[in-house]
Amino acid sequence: MKRIAALTMVRNDSFYLEKWVSYYGAQFGRENLYIFFDGTDQVAAPFCAGTNVRFHERVESQVARADKIRIEFLSSEAAKLFASGYDLVVGVDVDEFIVVDPRLGIGLGEYLSSARIRTSLSALGLDFGQKLGEEGDIRSDMPFLRQRHYAQIGTRYTKASVLAAPCRWGSGFHRVKGHNFHIGKDLYLMHFGYFDMKRLSDRLSDSDRLSQGWEKHMKKRSRTIRYVTRFRARPFDTWVRFARVCQSIVRPPYALNKPAMFELRIVVRIPDRFADVV
């Protein structure tokens, strides 16, 4: 098995961070998790015990500028982890979980250890929403995938999250500067940031986030809830195969190292085999 580290940066988000620590700790070992708190005013919760916690001076800026500052910092931290002996570094936001299809019968560490990764590896992006009228408020004491069953296949979340060498990530881990991307078969990045209407409403009343210009961003991302509520869900296995091929070939003209998919809005129902993964 390769030595794999996972890193993230977080501010005021214990709900997702607890799940992040539990999931990636099980995959790689808690001693290989690196959590950077955005602000020295933050406090590490007891569930962070056994991980590597660092406190960073808060990035005081609007959303886009702050994202660039954070990703430059995390890219430099990833380079330090490689220098300390790690074979791979996984960089994800605290609400993102890279998952191997359960039908393979292996964990994420085993999958990545056996994968041929030259520079980076991407997982196919699945952006989860809440199907209003069918799915209730999210609960923290149950697996997410027992409560949420619908996602949009989204190029935005097909990220270059896994590095095999020091590189410079683009904002939000969306690409690796100067390199192409490769999408792993049977590998998915599940994004849960906007999968609950109540939590989204609470975020829109968070003065800390609003002060950095998050309101427009969050309202835009809430479209996923509308999509999964209104659009007919398509068969998962058929459409993820299509999406993986399409995103590997089609590129936006403004960024040839990012995936594109003709602006298609494809909603899929997640198979029951994933129910206990996250």
Q: Answer yes or no: are the C-beta atoms of 183 and 122 closer than 8 Å.
A: yes
User: What's the pLDDT score for residue 130?
Assistant: 96
DSSP lists the bridge partners of residue 183 as: 122
User: What's the pLDDT score for residue 263?
Assistant: 86
User: What's the pLDDT score for residue 206?
Assistant: 57
Residues near 92 by beta carbon (within 8 Å), at least 6 away in sequence: 6, 8, 20, 98, 159, 161, 173, 189
User: What's the pLDDT score for residue 215?
Assistant: 54
User: What's the pLDDT score for residue 207?
Assistant: 56
Distance CA 111, CA 129 (A): 27
Name which of 165, 207, 190 is nearest 81 in CA terms: 165
Residue ranges covered by each domain of the chain? 4-274
Query: 45-54: long-range contacts (C-beta < 8 A, 24 or more apart)?
Result: 45/14, 45/17, 45/18, 47/17, 47/18, 47/21, 47/22, 48/17, 48/21, 50/25, 51/21, 51/25
User: What's the pLDDT score for residue 69?
Assistant: 85
Distance CA 42, CA 37 (A): 7
Cα-to-chain-centroid distance, residue 121: 13
Residue-wise pLDDT tens digits, 221-269: 678 999 999 999 999 999 999 999 999 999 888 878 889 998 899 999 9
Other Cβ atoms closer than 10 A to 80:
13
User: What's the pLDDT score for residue 205?
Assistant: 61
- Tell how strand 4-10 and strand 88-91 pair up: parallel
Q: What is the CB-side half-sphere exposure of residue 43 using CA atoms within 13 A?
A: 2
User: What's the pLDDT score for residue 143?
Assistant: 96
Q: Which residues of the chain have pLDDT under 70?
A: 60-64, 203-221
What the block records as the tokens of 29 is 């070992």
